[in-house]
Amino acid sequence: MVAPVVLVIAVIIGYPLVRGLYLSLTDATEANVARDIGMNHIPATYTFVGLDNYTAVLSDGVFWSRLGWTVVWTVACVGITFALGLTLANLLNRKMKGRTFYRLALILPWAIPAFISVFTWRLLYNEKHGLLNKLLQGGGIDAIPWLNDPTWAKLSVIVVNVWLGVPFMLVALLGGLQSIPGELYEAAEMDGANAWQRFRNITVPSLRSVSSTVILLSTIWTFNMFPVIFLLTRGGPGDATEILVTYAYRLSFVDSPRNFSSSAAWGVLILLMLSAVAVVYRRALRKQGEVW
């Protein structure tokens, strides 16, 4: 009965993966792959070039400097999102008036299509006409060049990504919290444990399997979070907010003819890095006694 699984995996993951790997070892571009466009027939003229694409990417300083910022971006986004999500989930896990309303309100960022959110943020960030600077001016503070200064732009993209990411963390962690039996807390309370001790010794360990999963997922998503960066700053100003995937996009899809092979090489490298992260992370968890 394993056949359907194998088939589906082969079709939707295996083929593109193998094809991408193959392309990354050639010099295929938009100009030399085979295609028929109406009256025009263009034959394939690309050749096998071995690891040339990889050496070109890895010997380019651009790759390493972008990798540095990508790591900072991922760690900052995941860290802040997780901390905020956990705090909010704890607050919402209590019995209080209007709990459903708050929960719904906090899910809202998730309900809006990401590109609409990002464009809205872009309007807010506009240096001269944006709401944020209008508010600051009201308080007598100078306008901040949100997207026009490298450092502010980095902060701005992180803020937007956190805003988009919190609902997911919130929902996942809230689910985790609700699966902890209330008796545990009651017993702890009887034993005289204070709120912090209960959080530290009951909540955190009980949430471990949920949080380890969401952190890994969130890391992978953030590492490859193309839309936020691309739509908000296009990687700018200059290349200040460019992460690996947006840079790969610029290198391979903005220039013409589009360079499929080097794009594939970037893709494979990104995949390798994320796989390595996942493996190391799992090992670390296993050492802590977590079965995942």
Partner 1 sequence: MRRRGIAATALVAGLALTATACGGDGGGDQKSGGELSGTVTFWDTSNDAEKATYKELAEGFEREHPKVDVKYVNVPFGEANAKFKNAAGGNSGAPDVMRTEVAWVADFANLGYLAPLDNTPALDKNEDYVEQAAGSTRFKGKTYAAPQVMDTLGLFYNKKLLEEAGVEVPKTFDELKDAAKKIKSKTGATALYLRGDDPYWFLPYLYGEGGDMVEAKGKKVLIDDPEGVRAFATIKDLVDSKAAVTDATDGQENQLKALKDGDVAMAIDGPWDIEGALAGKEFKDKGNLGVAPVPGGSKAQGSPQGGWNLSVYAGSGNLDASYEFVKYMSSAKVQQKTTEKLSLLPTRKSVYEVPSVKDNEMVKFFRPAVEKAVERPWIAEGNSLFEPIKVQMNKVLTGSATPDQAAKATGDAYRKLLKDYK
Q: Is 248 in the site for partner 1 (CB under 8 A)?
A: yes
Q: Give the tokens for residue 254.
A: 């903005």
Task: Determine contact, residues 88/170, Cβ cutoff 8 Å.
Answer: yes
Q: Residue 81 corresponds to which tokens in the numbers above? A: 């999102």
Partners of residue 50 on adjacent β-strands: none
- The phi, psi pair for 194, rounded to 5°, reads -85, 175
Taking CB under 8 A as the criterion, the residue among 258, 273, 281, 282 binding partner 1 is: 258
From CA 34, how far away is CA 275, in angstroms rounded?
32
Q: Does 270 bind partner 1 (CB under 8 A)?
A: yes
- Measured in whole angstroms, how far is the alpha carbon of residue 280 from the centre of its chain? 18
Should residue 168 be labelled a site residue for partner 1 when binding is judged by CB under 8 A? no
94 interacts with partner 1 by CB under 8 A:
no
Per CB under 8 A, the segment of 175-183, 184-192, 200-208, 251-259 that binds partner 1 is: 251-259
Segments in 179-235 forming alpha helices (H): 182-190, 195-198, 204-223, 226-233
Cβ atoms of 125 and 146 within 8 Å: the answer is: yes
- Tell me which stretch binds partner 1 (CB under 8 A): 80-88, 91-99, 197-205, 254-262: 254-262
Q: Which helix (H) or strand (E) covers residue 36, if one does?
A: strand 35-37
- Sequence length of the chain is 292
What mask, x for binding partner 1 by CB under 8 A, covers residues 202 to 241?
A: ----------------------x-xx--x--xx-xxxxx-
Task: Kindly tell me which of 174 and 260 has the beta carbon lying closer to partner 1.
Answer: 260
Q: Least Å distance between CB 196 and partner 1?
A: 40
Contacts with 122 (C-beta within 8 Å, 6 or more apart), sequence order: 147, 231, 232
Q: State yes or no: residue 148 binds partner 1 (CB under 8 A).
A: yes
**267 lies in the site for partner 1, by CB under 8 A:** yes
Q: Is 46 helix (H, G, I), strand (E, B) or coil?
A: coil
| Nearest CA-CA partner of 247 in 263, 271, 269 | 263
Q: Rounded to the nearest whole angstrom, what is the least distance from the CB of residue 160 to partner 1 in the complex? A: 13
260 binds partner 1 (CB under 8 A): yes
- The span of 133-141, 190-198, 203-211, 244-252 binding partner 1 (CB under 8 A) equals 244-252
Is residue 256 part of the contact set for partner 1 (CB under 8 A)?
A: yes
* Residues in 17-36 at the binding interface with partner 1, rule: CB under 8 A: 17, 19-21, 23, 28, 30-31, 33-36
Beta carbon nearer to partner 1, 153 or 214: 153
> What sign for the dihedral angle of Cα 138, 140, 146, 152?
negative
Q: Find out whether 233 and 153 touch, Cβ atoms under 8 Å.
A: yes
**Binding site residues, partner 1, CB under 8 A:** 15-17, 19-21, 23, 28, 30-31, 33-40, 42, 122, 126-129, 147-150, 153, 224, 226-227, 230, 233-234, 236-240, 245, 248-250, 252-258, 260, 263-264, 266-268, 270-271
